[in-house]
């Protein structure tokens, strides 16, 4: 890395300076790389943010990465999203909470991040090759920090949807698995977006649109309606719902910042569907959605109407993309029917963007004892997308 592009690492930054650089990065600068997300994760979950940024000759930020240091004792078990309610599952959770969280609290530290590194490409003028140099500098710096702090792994590193530098990550020895998301391009006229949606979805929406009223949650009492629907959904799927305090903390932190919106769909005053969305700069993310047992048993396809309502709402407010969430392509390729069905539903609204999740074992201690111990702990935690559901 050239001396005129130093990489700075810090646990604190100027919020205005950091978030302004994200704004200049346009759709690459998502909420998950913002100082708001850093403070939320630090205050609510206790993971420690690591801010890395590259400085150009003028002293402006032209590349940045928000990473977090966590550890097994602090990593919420339910984040893995595939936690079945069985006696064995409950036993595993209790073992995790008692033994790992209280006894081994900081023995197994690791790094993770989402939607980074971010390169402010419009600041590079006519030198696009500088982008790779900045990217390499940021990755090299976080690897250097991981060795100095003695973390055993970079557990999950998810790139920007529009900048997955596979060759560079391969060069640094990262392993990868195929992931993806469904993006709805909100820049065309809303009429063209409507026509691009799958015909069956449009038919379902037209059938129920005159009987459905959408409202925005305005309080924690309204948010409880969303949660009640979510509990119905998770019971049908035989998985454990996050505790309500998870969504309460999310709401309390981001609602004053106007970066969270929850929509509730009513049929004759009866709530039958709801969602939570997160928004920042030009990107809006569908964080969670759920439909009621009543809607499901009566074949009321409220999720179709809910997604279309979110699309229209986002389009009216000038967002460029709607992110419908992760598509676990590696699971689909291995025959996971649940992952495939979710992907099929989401893909009816937008375009698949493929990228990779990366990880790298960085433990260099004798016999890799901690790494082996961490792999043993994996027996107690089902596989899943992990920390990004915070």
CATH of the domain at 12: 3.40.630.30
Whole-number Å distance between alpha carbons of 366 and 148: 16
Are 234 and 298 in a shared domain? yes
Considering only CA atoms, which of 230, 299, 320 is closest in space to residue 27? Answer: 320
Are 154 and 57 in a shared domain? yes
* Model pLDDT for residues 281-329, shown as the tens digit of each residue: 999 999 999 999 999 999 999 999 999 999 999 999 999 999 998 789 9
Are 164 and 249 in a shared domain? no
Q: Are the C-beta atoms of 126 and 158 separated by less than 8 Å?
A: no
Q: Is the pTM value of this prediction over 0.85?
A: yes
pLDDT at 38: 98
Whole-number Å distance between alpha carbons of 374 and 368: 10
The CA radius of gyration of the chain, in Å to the nearest whole number, is: 21
Are 192 and 145 in a shared domain? no
Can you state the percent helix, strand and coil of the chain, rounding each to 5? 45, 25, 30
Per the domain annotation, does 198 fall within a domain?
yes
Predicted confidence band at 380 (pLDDT cuts at 50, 70, 90)? very low
Whole-number Å distance between alpha carbons of 356 and 378: 21
Per the domain annotation, does 256 fall within a domain?
yes
Are 14 and 117 in a shared domain? yes
Domain count, the chain: 2
pLDDT at residue 85 tops 60: no
Are 288 and 206 in a shared domain? yes
Are 92 and 207 in a shared domain? no
Least confident of 3-17, 170-184, 205-219, 338-352: 3-17
Whole-number Å distance between alpha carbons of 5 and 207: 57
For residue 46, with 0-12 CB atoms within 10 Å meaning exposed, 13-18 middle and 19 or more buried, which class applies? exposed
pLDDT at 78: 39
Are 283 and 385 in a shared domain? no
Per the domain annotation, does 344 fall within a domain?
no
Per the domain annotation, does 193 fall within a domain?
yes
Are 154 and 53 in a shared domain? yes
Predicted confidence band at 270 (pLDDT cuts at 50, 70, 90)? very high
Are 305 and 373 in a shared domain? no
- 75-84 burial string, b = 16+ CB within 10 Å, else e? bbbbbbebbe
pLDDT at residue 36 tops 70: yes
The answer for 148, left when phi > 0, alpha when psi is -120 to 50, beta otherwise, is: alpha
Lookup result for tokens 């006519």: 126
* Residue ranges making up the domain that contains 272: 187-319
Predicted confidence band at 154 (pLDDT cuts at 50, 70, 90)? very high
Are 56 and 112 in a shared domain? yes
* Model pLDDT for residues 228-264, shown as the tens digit of each residue: 999 999 999 888 888 899 999 999 999 999 999 999 9
Are 244 and 210 in a shared domain? yes
Tell me which of 80 and 26 has the higher pLDDT.
26
pLDDT at 168: 95
């Amino acid at each position: 890395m050239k001396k005129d592009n130093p990489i700075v690492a810090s646990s604190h930054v100027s919020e205005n300076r950091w978030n302004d650089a994200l704004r200049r990065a346009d759709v690459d600068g998502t909420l998950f790389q913002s100082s708001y997300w850093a403070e939320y994760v630090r205050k609510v979950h206790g993971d420690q943010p690591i801010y890395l940024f590259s400085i150009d000759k003028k002293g402006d930020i032209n590349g940045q990465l928000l990473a977090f240091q966590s550890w097994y004792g602090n990593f919420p078990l339910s984040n893995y999203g595939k936690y079945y309610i069985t006696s064995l599952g409950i036993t595993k959770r209790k073992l995790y909470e008692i033994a790992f969280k209280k006894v081994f609290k900081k023995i197994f530290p690791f790094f993770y991040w989402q939607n980074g590194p971010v390169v402010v490409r419009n600041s590079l003028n006519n030198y696009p090759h500088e982008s790779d140099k900045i990217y390499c500098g940021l990755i090299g710096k976080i690897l250097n920090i991981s060795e100095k702090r003695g973390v055993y792994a970079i557990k999950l590193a998810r790139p920007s949807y529009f900048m997955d530098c596979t060759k560079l990550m391969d060069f640094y020895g990262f392993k990868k698995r195929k992931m993806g998301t469904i993006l709805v391009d909100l820049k065309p006229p809303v009429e063209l977006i409507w026509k691009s949606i799958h015909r069956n979805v449009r038919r379902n929406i037209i059938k129920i649109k005159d009987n459905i009223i959408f409202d925005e949650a305005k309080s924690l009492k309204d948010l409880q309606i969303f949660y009640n629907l979510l509990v119905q959904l998770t019971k049908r799927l035989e998985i454990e719902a996050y505790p309500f305090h998870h969504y309460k903390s999310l709401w309390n932190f981001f609602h004053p910042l106007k970066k969270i919106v929850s929509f509730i769909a009513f049929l004759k005053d009866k709530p039958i569907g709801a969602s939570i969305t997160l928004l920042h700069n030009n990107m809006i993310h569908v964080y969670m959605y759920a439909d009621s047992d009543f809607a499901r048993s009566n074949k009321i396809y409220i999720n179709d109407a809910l997604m279309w309502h979110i699309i229209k709402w986002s389009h009216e407010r000038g967002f460029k993309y709607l992110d419908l969430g992760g598509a676990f392509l590696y699971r689909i390729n291995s025959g996971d029917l649940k992952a495939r069905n979710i992907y099929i539903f989401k893909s009816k609204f937008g375009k698949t963007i493929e990228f990779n999740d990366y990880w790298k074992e960085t433990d260099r201690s004798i016999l890799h004892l901690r790494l082996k111990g961490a792999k043993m702990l994996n027996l107690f935690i089902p596989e899943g997308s992990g920390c990004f559901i915070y």
